[in-house]
Amino acid sequence: MRRAHHPATGELSLPEVMAALSDPLRIGLVRVLADGAERGWGELRAPVAKSTLSHHLRVLRDAGVTRTRQEGTRCFVTLRRQDLDERFPGLVGALLEAAGAENVGSGVYLAPGADSTAACP
């Protein structure tokens, strides 16, 4: 598991962020992370193969939408809400509101019983 690259706040690219947020599955991931809690990779459920899920998380990470932290063999993901709001004020909020109203990305959810406080037992 190679060290993941995270763009600095100042390096965020608007087109790249928009592209990252143009896939229903990735929108679903952002919605799941929208409460600001850190989530374990294993908590995330989506109707795709795990290699595909890894791909989508990588796209989000490379665009600077999420941050991945590694702990042992596990990964924890958070939404970079503050960084995004700093560079693109209101964008993520508008997206989340619209996605909620349209129920975009509803195929993504958290593993039943998973709790943000139990992410690191």
Partner DNA sequence: TTCGTTGTTCGTCGAATATCGAACAAGCTA
Partner DNA sequence: TAGCTTGTTCGATATTCGACGAACAACGAA
Binding residue for a copy of itself (CB under 8 A) from 27, 32, 44, 57? 27
56 near DNA (CB under 7 A): yes
Look at strands 44-45 and 66-71 and give their pairing.
unpaired
Neighbours of 31 (CB within 10 A): 20
69 near DNA (CB under 7 A): no
Residues listed for the chain: 121
- The SS3 of residue 71 is strand
Binding residue for DNA (CB under 7 A) from 9, 52, 82, 106? 52
Binding residue for a copy of itself (CB under 8 A) from 72, 90, 113, 121? 90
